[in-house]
Amino acid sequence: VLLALGEDLQAVVAARRARAEAAPGFATHADLAVALAEAGAFDDADAAYLRALEAYRDVSPFPVAWVAFQRGVMWAEHADQPEKALPLYEEAVRRLPGYVRAHVHLAEMLAQRGEQARALGLLVAVVGGGDPEPAGLLAELL
């Protein structure tokens, strides 16, 4: 709740850091990364996301794609370093081709860079999935 409210973030970070140290694993490191990102400690958050990936021992692409996407959002939208986000969004789409939100974020970045055709291709690939966001962005770009 404190994290969602943006209150006492250092206490949230400390608690999640203690959990990650006591029981290192994908979930605890990812939880720590989210808290660190919210606290504005972007490099530390990125390192925690990477530790989460190192601890991941399953075959599902969902958590791996989620981490790539979260890192992309963190760098592009919170740390104002979109150049770090682009390859992360690309990785999320590559790992999970049906990841609509990753397609949309990547398409937005590509459109801003003038790569209109590539952006349109990403949106067309996911526009029929029932989520209105790709169609909305597609309409804006056309």
Give Cα separations from 26 to 53, 57, 69, 136 (angstroms). Answer: 6, 8, 15, 34
- At 101-117, the pLDDT tens digits run 999 999 999 999 999 99
- The secondary structure of residue 74, as a DSSP letter, is I
Q: Domain segments of the chain: what residues?
A: 1-57, 61-142
Q: How far apart are CA 24 and CA 75, in angstroms?
A: 24
Q: Given a cut of 90, is residue 131 above it in pLDDT?
A: no
13, 39 contact by CB (below 8 A): yes
127, 134 contact by CB (below 8 A): yes
Top-level class of domain 61-142: mainly alpha
Q: Judge if pTM exceeds 0.75.
A: yes
Percent of the chain with pLDDT over 90: 87
